[in-house]
Structure 1
Amino acid sequence: MQAHKESESRFAPYMKIIAHRGWSSQAPENTEAAIEKAIALGVDMVEIDVRRTRDYRLVVYHDAKLGRTAEGDALVRTLDQADLMKLDNGSWYGEDFKDEKILSFDESLEICKNRMRLMIEIKIDRGDVFAPSVKTLVDSIQAHEMMDQVCIQSFNTDVLKSLNEVEPGLELHKLIVFKLPLSPFYFDEKISTGKLFTESFYKAINISYRYVTIPLVQAIRRRDKEIYCWTADKLKPMNRLSKIDVDGIITNYPSKLKTLLSLK
């Protein structure tokens, strides 16, 4: 068996290891520390979350509201970027991380430039407006000369379409989440199930690992698209996914996945 190694082919012969919000089981999520730990581990990609601020700039933060990881209780979109970047975003995890702040999107690009690929999830809440920030995001990626170092994922099809219109060269991934029986087939109701596999402006479909099956992978492959899974943290699903030809797994435990793949 071949050990896990990098390949230049479009459909990689191995499963990519994608560190969820950085190495978030070893450092506070979406911080410089978590990203640096993932880089040091040698993952294939780091996944981060990006939100717009009141002044339509961008920060790296998962939740719509402060409080779980960063100090405060305001909605992220009600504060300016400069004020958000002053907040403690690490003490909740441990005293060693008390100096970690909320990163700007530009800072995350600077950390990863020429070192690590980034999978960027655009976070948008019901009633939020991200459109004015689309060009800001694209301009930042281009200014850092990182077009070939990033991919962008979102549940929101309209945002993906806008990104494609502004910069057709971006690698876009469609996030979906399958539901339980008798509920919607997947999260975004604006796309029919037929278009899900055939839309040309995105390269990959990213889906919860729980709903990935061999027939689904085969259907996606027939449409010349890639498939990534989130967020698998236990060995049993990691092992199952490694046997059915997915392109990558997003995980909070990248070292566990790396060890598993090294044994194949």
Structure 2
Amino acid sequence: MVAVTVEQHQATATPLVVAHRGASDEEAEHTLRAYRKAFAHGADGVECDVRLTADHHLVCVHDRRVERTSNGAGVVSTLELARLEELDWASWKTRPEDLEAPDSDPERARLLTLRRLLATIVEEGGEPIVLVETKHPTRHGDDVEKTLVQVLRSFDLDRGDRPGRPRVRVMSFSARALQRVHKLSPQVPLVHLVSAKGPSLPLDGTLPKGVGVVGLDIALVRRKPKLVRKFRKHGHGVFVWTVDETADLDLCRELGVDVVITNRPRRAIDRFAAGG
């Protein structure tokens, strides 16, 4: 259970650790096994990307196409859920121990839907952080956010933070996507993602209306560490992604960011616990 407020940490607070696509350095990303391992390590929360299938199901897949993370081919938005569920989503990251016991975990290679991920998290209880990123551009347009809000509503997760419930935040690089979520469900906290490769908003510490948190690329934080203070001065929370290296973990702690999003949650937790 998260014992402190997600956003608005004091500058001296240790950042919370959110597992990027689960414990994705150890397990195949966006699989239930990766998320369970992240929580077993003690992560404060998890992050996932969602895309809409041809028959309007939200699935946890980062790429527009399926080739990198499955044994299939094609564009996620043009394939139906049943076809995607036929694919193997983990063999690309097979380890020697998995070859020794291929039948030990039937969930290992299974496609993960957002509904299944949320159901698992809700069932476990507590107040973990759940960051959901909508991917754009997409042929489905605003149907992504409409469907996402419907799914959150079905789990009673669209009314902001409440005791004993997961703490959901919707993230996107698209300000328009975030505004759609805000219009449909104004109590859901929002995170505007900013990449070092091409910032999509002014880096003056301000955020679009209704957005309370910025999600900064670690490359941008390395280059412009004063950005953290700028956003804080405007009352905004600061999340940083993807923070895997020890020096970057130390920098985030020194700057007092609220959340680090990492592929290696165990390393981050151990580093922060050691204090060195």
TM-score by length of 2: 0.84
8 Å Cα contact 1:57-1:133 kept in structure 2:
no
Q: What do the CA deviations read for 1:34-66 (whole angstroms, capped 9, x no partner)? A: 011111111111011101111222100111111
Comparing 153-162 and 213-222, the one that deviates more: 213-222
Letter in 1 for 2:17: I
Partner of 2:129: 117
- Select 2:139's aligned residue among 128, 141, 149: 128
Does residue 255 of structure 1 match 2:273? no
Partner of 2:8: 11
8 Å Cα contact 2:191-2:215 kept in structure 1:
yes
Q: CA deviation at 1:205?
A: 0.5
Q: Secondary structure at the match of 1:100?
A: coil
8 Å Cα contact 2:190-2:210 kept in structure 1:
yes
The equivalences for 1:26-65 within 5 A come to 26-65=26-65
Partner of 1:228: 239
Q: 1:9 to 1:64 in 2, by over 3 A?
A: closer
Does residue 100 of structure 1 match 2:109? yes
Q: CA deviation at 1:82?
A: 2.6
The equivalences for 1:119-198 within 5 A come to 119-125=131-137, 128-147=139-158, 148=161, 149-179=167-197, 184=198, 186=199, 188=200, 191-193=201-203, 197-198=206-207
What value does the CA root-mean-square deviation take over the aligned residues? 1.9
Q: Percent identity?
A: 26
Q: Secondary structure at the match of 2:59?
A: strand
The equivalences for 1:71-86 within 5 A come to 71-86=71-86
Give distance in 2, aligned partners of 1:104 and 1:38: 17
Partner of 1:246: 257
Partner of 1:69: 69
Letter in 2 for 1:24: S
Q: CA deviation at 1:121?
A: 1.0
8 Å Cα contact 2:51-2:76 kept in structure 1:
yes
8 Å Cα contact 2:6-2:259 kept in structure 1:
no
Q: 1:9 to 1:159 in 2, by over 3 A?
A: closer
Q: Secondary structure at the match of 1:197?
A: coil
Letter in 2 for 1:262: A
Q: 1:254 to 1:193 in 2, by over 3 A?
A: closer
Partner of 1:205: 214
Q: 1:156 to 1:237 in 2, by over 3 A?
A: same
Give distance in 1, aligned partners of 2:18 and 2:6: 17
Q: Secondary structure at the match of 1:87?
A: coil
Point out where structure 2 has 5 or more consecutive residues left out of the alignment: 162-166
Q: Secondary structure at the match of 2:206?
A: helix
Q: What do the CA deviations read for 1:96-140 (whole angstroms, capped 9, x no partner)? A: 567421111111111111243211111123x53331232211111
Q: CA deviation at 1:200?
A: 2.9
Q: CA deviation at 1:16?
A: 0.8
Point out where structure 1 has 5 or more consecutive residues left out of the alignment: none
Give distance in 1, aligned partners of 2:157 and 2:202: 32
Q: Secondary structure at the match of 2:93?
A: coil
